[in-house]
Structure 1
Amino acid sequence: MHDLILGITEWAAIAVEAAAVLVVSLAVIQAVLGFLRAFFGHANDIRSDAVRLHLARWLMLALEFALAADILRTAIAPGWDEIGKLAAIAALRTVLNFFLQREMEQARA
């Protein structure tokens, strides 16, 4: 039974990581298309800021998915090494999310 739970949790972590990859990939494609429209449409800087901020929002979501996958992996192998790695990753992602959120709020103001 324990092995079944471990297997399911590992597959869930892989699926969540795949979701993060999908979010980043689609967000980058959307940002590139938005940039090209803004560049060739001679749009002003507000339009390019909108593209950048939209990309930042999707990247924040992808970071949350990646953190969720790390939490799942730590749940099945809760050694101190894995917990330390999770803490470092969570701290880095939290700092990155904080600065992305702050930049988005400044751009809105």
Structure 2
Amino acid sequence: MHDLIKLWTEWVAVAVEAAAVLVVALAVAQAVVGFLRAFFSGDGEATPMSDAVRLRLARWLMLALEFALAADILRTAIAPDWDEIGKLAAIATLRTVLNFFLQREMEHAQRAMR
């Protein structure tokens, strides 16, 4: 039974990582389309439309980071040795710092757009 739970957990972790990849791929595609629209509709300068594209991309990247962290937590839950726990702590710290700075950048951009 224990091996079955490990197997299921690993499959769920792979699915969650696949969701993170899908989120990033779709977000980048959406950002490229939005950027091209903003670039060709304006004078090539930063516009509110291009800022909106950046903010939307940042939101999706934050979601993808959360998915990736969830997959790491699942993997650590099935193999909790000290090495894995240390790696999870380092990864969680880096992703939390990235999320913090992305959130701060988004708030700053939103204030500037008003």
Paired residue for 1:53, among 39, 52, 55?
Answer: 55
- Counterpart position of 2:69: 67
C-alpha displacement of 1:45: 1.6
CA distance in 2, matches of 1:32, 1:70: 29
Per-residue deviation, 1:19: 0.2
Unaligned runs of 5+ in 1: none
Count residues in correspondence: 109
Shift of the alpha carbon at 1:39?
0.6
Identity %: 81
Hey, what does 1:10 align to over in structure 2?
10
Normalising to structure 2: TM-score of the pair? 0.93
Q: Within 5 A, what are the aligned runs for 1:28-107?
A: 28-42=28-42, 45-107=47-109
TM-score w.r.t. length of structure 1: 0.97
Deviations 1:20-71 (A, max 9, x none): 0000000000000000000111165211111011000000000000000000
* Aligned-partner SS, 1:55: helix
**Counterpart residue type for residue 84 of structure 2:** E
Unaligned 5+ segments in structure 2 are none
Equivalent position amino acid for 1:21 in 2: V
RMSD: 0.9
Runs (4 or more) in structure 1 with deviation over 3 Å come to none
SS at match of 1:78: coil
